[in-house]
Amino acid sequence: MLNTFRLAIEPRVSHLAAWKPFQWTVAGTFWCVFVSWGYQNLVVSGLGGMWLRPGLVTGIMMAIVLAGPILAFLAFKLRELAIANKHLGVVASTDSLTACLNRGSFHEKIDEQLGEATRASRHLKGALLIIDADHFKAINDTYGHDEGDEALRIIAAQIRGQVRKGDLVGRLGGEEFGVFLPGASQENALAVAERVRRAIADMSFRPRGVRHQLSVSVGGVSFEDQLGFVELYRIADRRLYQAKNGGRNRIELTHIQAYSSSDAAPLH
């Protein structure tokens, strides 16, 4: 799992980005040479032609010898700092156990997308799914928290495997996960929820060599309205509660029409 997490946060530096320290070093060195040449030309020219050429050559060579290594060192250190900052940003927004977004980052990224749509005066449709592991406490109580953590990693991996590249997956706390599907229709959201439910139910989870059936309940809302994360979560969480009360291992999904204040009847 550690290797998977490291791969998930490893910055993908392009060949162009890798060449930037070299480019800055060359450009900086040329600038220092130009400044040195201008200064030497101004000062030494008054001493006569016999001093001009040796003085210019000496100034240029000093600029190359001193500026080149110093600029190269600074450029590579700045690149290392940028990579380290990128690592820290990813770590700060990621749940270390499942490599999903943590709740704060998940909330923030959804509100960013919804806010951008509002500022652009366009209606963003999509869906929010809340996925909760069924009878999860029994796993921890029977097999221990290490096996419970393994179950969460399995569930998270299956969720990520059923969504698109631009979709957001977050761990909202405990055994609860969220999936945000920008642009998804009601039918798309229901299809994703069903794929997730089936994928998890089909997984082989054998704590201490004993087969244990995993399942999840899903509550969701598809929307065509200018709603924020808090409101979407409230509606989806209410549907999750219905799925739990309806027997678990099931889906409850509702749809919010554009500028409608009441949600529709749930889909099964």
Distance CA 158, CA 174 (A): 17
Band (45; pLDDT cuts 50, 70, 90): low
Range among 22-31, 54-63, 249-258 rated most confident: 249-258
What pLDDT score does 114 carry? 87
Band (31; pLDDT cuts 50, 70, 90): low
Per the structure block, which two tokens stand in for 44? Answer: 């030494």
Number of alpha carbons in the 13 Å side-chain half-sphere of residue 40: 20
Cα-based distances in Å from 124 to 164, 226, 261: 17, 7, 16
pLDDT digits (tens, 9 = 90+) for 3-12: 444 444 444 4
Which residue carries 């250190």 as its tokens?
A: 77
pLDDT digits (tens, 9 = 90+) for 157-167: 999 999 999 99
What pLDDT score does 192 carry? 97
- Residues marked active site are found at 175
Query: Would you tell me the crossing angle of helices 145-160 and 136-143 to the nearest 10 degrees?
Result: 140
What's the pTM? Answer: 0.68
pLDDT digits (tens, 9 = 90+) for 226-262: 788 999 999 999 999 999 999 999 999 999 876 444 4
